[in-house]
Structure 1
Amino acid sequence: MRARNLVPGLAASALAVVVSMLVNAAVPVLSALLVAILLGILAANLLRLPASLAPGLQFASKRLLRIGIVLLGLQLAVGDIVALGLGTIVVVVAVVTIGMFATCAMGRRMGMTAMQSLLMASGFSICGAAAVAAAGSVVDAEEEDVATALAMVVLFGTVVIPLVPLFGRLFGLDDLTTGLWAGASVHEVAQVVAIGGSISAAALSAAVVVKLARVLMLAPVMAVLSWRRRRTMAGLQTKLPPIVPLFIAGFIAMVALRSVEIVPAPVLDVVKWIQTALLAAAMFALGTGVKASIFKRVGSKPLVLGAASTTVVGAVGLGGVLLLA
């Protein structure tokens, strides 16, 4: 593919990134990634996008996405996760594991495809849109399935922002416990920040660290998905995918680099901005695949599964933090 063929789509993605970051700066509760997805959805359904955008959008949704996920690893330090204590780590593992298995099982019972259920399970159980896109890349999912899962993550992740503090008060939880619950159960890091920040500084700190522990689960889950795909493809006359995808290996390497504390803080700040821009570009590109016609075909099943998965993950997270309290 010639580089000049990528220019129109990448230019559109870059424009979406600028708008997304400006919106995020003005309204911090709206993360740049979620705004980018929404811009992609609006563009796909309100405009007639020229075919010339396709190569660049595809490049953004695959190559830029993987680079962004690699750089995401620099947000995570193993020491911060270990400092949570064994009990909290067990809760995080339980949330991700039960969320994945329960969502996939419920999806099968509802008649959804295994791929659709898996993508939604990844997004709702691990870290939202980035997990959906990562899983889609690992298992080579259809763009329509990825787009549907992304739309559900945006919808339900936004809905829970006011609900977690509300239910925290109704259940009589203190600020710290509510923050832990948010980190253990809410989809996106930005949504967790919005919830924790609306409660207190203590809630914000607890919520973010627990959420980043869930983000760290991206590596083992994606490795398992890749291993399962290798087993499925064994014997076929085709190249087998790696046991650990290269971008996941890069993610792990960045976590290790951050954990030894040799990267200066100013560099981390710049890399975080670049990582956000790359993932926002990828989310815009993926959002352009969300067409209204998709929901006419799939019906209400993704909505029902999204509600059920949100409930399961929230319940497991709440039960876990209450046991720790």
Structure 2
Amino acid sequence: MGIQMNKNFLLGVGFTFIIAIVSILLSNLPILNKVGALAIAIITAIMYRHFKGYPTQIESGIAFSSKKLLRLAIILYGLKLNLSTIIHQGSTLLIFDVGVVAFAICFMILLNKIIKGDKNLVLLLGIGTGVCGAAAIAAISPILKSKERDIGISVGLVAIMGTIFSLTYTLLFALFPMDPTAYGIWSGASLHEIAHVILAADAGGSEALSIGLLTKLGRVFLLIPLSIIFLVIVNRKKSNKVAQKIDFPYFLIGFLIMSAVNTFVDIPEGVLNVMSTFTTLILIMAMVGLGLNVSFSDLRTKALKPMIAMAITSVVLSVITYFVAGIL
């Protein structure tokens, strides 16, 4: 019995690994290289469930990928942050980023009062849009007690929406060239994932890419205080008896430690590149696990209104940050 369970566990982890590798390989092909491995993996997982059903026999391994590997990816994500650079070189941009995060979340919530979509999905999408896409959703969803299918839906929508916007930015820059620094700030302040910022800002050259990443990493940094804010809000809503026990996502401490390590320890660039590749791989494996929890019926019944709210918010955010980037 134990051997069979271990076998199914390994098969489940292997299943998410294979789809992740295939997604990465597909993302190197023309056209698909604009979509990105994350979006490809989630779409593949959703399609697999639709046509083949959820593979319950290997559920333990899939659950390990969607939960444990996801948390490990968030911890390692901290190696992308250099706190000193963000605080000293990007202090003005950090203030700008605070406004971006606050606007995205608050505007989504405000829109939802009008369109009356799923509240939890809207909040997750607001967090993903304002901060750093899948990583932010994955980090804060445990605090909100979000269901795996909601996490999968929101991550998938953010990945797809971000891809559309980053391609649009690249096209707009080609048609209407703007100052590389302003373009980089605009991309870093408004696009959803780090990968989306790289895709868009790279069109503006090395200067645009550098300032774009600095702006974006400021938003990633804000994941730490934002998590604390949500912890306080959620625990205040609980009864006094329950509120004594703070349900803290301890992997965020790992995220902060890794950020500190990257800030104060001189890590060889080759090691950082390897860790970045590994982080991307396990994050995509986690997304496969989450995607398998999403059905087309969920997308039809729950995702339409939140998706509309996110699209409107993303457009408004792009317009506002475009003008502010020109001033900065």
TM-score, normalised to structure 1, is 0.91
- For 1:21, the equivalent position in structure 2 comes to 24
**Please, which of 80, 89, 93 is the counterpart of residue 94 of structure 2?**
89
Q: Percent identity?
A: 28
Native 8 Å contact 1:108 1:114 kept in 2: no
- For 1:58, the equivalent position in structure 2 comes to 63
Which blocks of at least 5 consecutive residues in structure 1 are unaligned? none
- For 1:319, the equivalent position in structure 2 comes to 323
* Partner Cα distance (2:46, 2:268) in 1: 37
Query: Aligned AA for 2:283?
Result: L
The CA deviation at 1:16 is 1.4
Native 8 Å contact 2:149 2:291 kept in 1: no
Native 8 Å contact 1:189 1:208 kept in 2: yes
* Partner Cα distance (2:243, 2:69) in 1: 25
**Please, which of 276, 279, 286 is the counterpart of residue 280 of structure 2?**
276
The CA deviation at 1:4 is 4.2
The CA deviation at 1:126 is 0.7
1:72 and 2:73 are equivalent in the alignment:
no
The CA deviation at 1:18 is 1.2
Other structure's SS at 1:262 match: coil
Other structure's SS at 2:267 match: coil
- For 1:145, the equivalent position in structure 2 comes to 150
TM-score, normalised to structure 2, is 0.90
Other structure's SS at 1:49 match: coil
Stretch moving more, 68-77 or 50-59: 50-59
Native 8 Å contact 2:82 2:259 kept in 1: yes
- For 1:288, the equivalent position in structure 2 comes to 292
Map 1:234-249; keep pairs closer than 5 Å.
Answer: 234-236=239-241, 240-243=245-248, 245-249=249-253
Q: 1:171 to 1:198 in 2, by over 3 A?
A: closer
Native 8 Å contact 1:75 1:258 kept in 2: yes
- For 1:163, the equivalent position in structure 2 comes to 168
Native 8 Å contact 2:65 2:285 kept in 1: yes
**Please, which of 9, 13, 17 is the counterpart of residue 12 of structure 2?**
9
Which deviations, in whole Å up to 9, do the C-alpha atoms of 1:113-147 show, x marking residues without a partner? 33122101111111112222222222210223223
The CA deviation at 1:194 is 0.9
Native 8 Å contact 2:67 2:286 kept in 1: yes
* Partner Cα distance (1:82, 1:237) in 2: 36
Native 8 Å contact 1:122 1:131 kept in 2: yes
Which blocks of at least 5 consecutive residues in structure 2 are unaligned? none
1:175 and 2:180 are equivalent in the alignment:
yes
Q: 1:85 to 1:193 in 2, by over 3 A?
A: closer
* Partner Cα distance (1:211, 1:217) in 2: 10
* Partner Cα distance (2:21, 2:121) in 1: 31
Stretch moving more, 308-317 or 87-96: 308-317
**Please, which of 292, 304, 307 is the counterpart of residue 300 of structure 1?**
304
* Partner Cα distance (1:81, 1:299) in 2: 35
Aligned residues: 323
The CA deviation at 1:182 is 0.6
